[in-house]
Amino acid sequence: MGRPSIRSRFPEITTVVKEFISQHSAAAHNRRREDTAYYHGVHIEQIRRHVLSRIPEIQRISKSTIRHLLLPPQKNRKAAKRYGGLVAAKIPPKKNDLMLSEHKDFHFTCAQVNYVSELSEMLVDETVALSADNKNKLNVGTLALSRYFNIGKFFMTDDQPNYPDHDFPYNGAKLIPAGNLLLKSRF
């Protein structure tokens, strides 16, 4: 028979681990108003320390015991049978297909540009068409995805991060898209 497992002796361990990972997930980070305590995913050691502080009856627990509460990294391997899968969390794959939504006035501004273009085409000799535009500042972060980037933290399977696809060397950077264009008639 052997000694009883830590999961059978302390059934509340799965709830503690699940709540801790959920508190430090991608969606929880996006809801925060300030970045005083920045956590975006958690390491096994952080989970282990949290379990030891929340359940004082547990004197020692190994990282592998904590890891075996989570989903297996690859479920088609023989070692996957050692994982309990009680907490639906794992290290997610890289993902950087975050799409920004279209601006609410996009159709109106395109129609205005087309209208002005038609008017300038009718009055070619009296018009110098110049397009100058500064857009709103875009916040860009430091979490970018490149081939050198590996996610080494655990996230809940239904709440995994999705990063934009740019690299900026410092935090709080802003990008101001601007453009000047001299428009000439084809005729």
CA distances from 80 to 13, 75, 90, 93, 110 (A): 20, 5, 13, 18, 54
Give one word for 85, left, alpha or beta, with left for phi > 0 and alpha for psi -120 to 50: left
Count each helix (H run) and each strand (E run) in the chain, helices first: 6, 6
CA triplet 122, 106, 95: central angle to 5 degrees?
A: 135
Tens digit of each residue's pLDDT (9 = 90 or more) over 49-97: 999 999 989 888 999 999 988 888 888 888 888 888 888 888 887 766 6
- The half-sphere exposure of 121 on its side-chain side, counting CA atoms within 13 A, is 9
pLDDT score of 36: 46
Q: How far apart are CA 95 and CA 3, in angstroms?
A: 41
Tens digit of each residue's pLDDT (9 = 90 or more) over 123-180: 877 877 677 777 777 766 554 455 566 777 888 887 777 665 555 555 567 777 777 7
* Choice between 177 and 101, residue whose per-residue pLDDT is larger: 177
pLDDT score of 187: 55
pLDDT score of 106: 83
CA distances from 119 to 133, 161, 180 (A): 19, 47, 20
CA 173 to chain centre: 17
Q: What CA dihedral angle connects 21, 26, 31 and 34, to 10 degrees?
A: 90
Tens digit of each residue's pLDDT (9 = 90 or more) over 9-40: 898 999 999 999 888 876 655 555 554 444 57
Residue with the two structure tokens 């080494």: 152
Tens digit of each residue's pLDDT (9 = 90 or more) over 124-133: 778 776 777 7
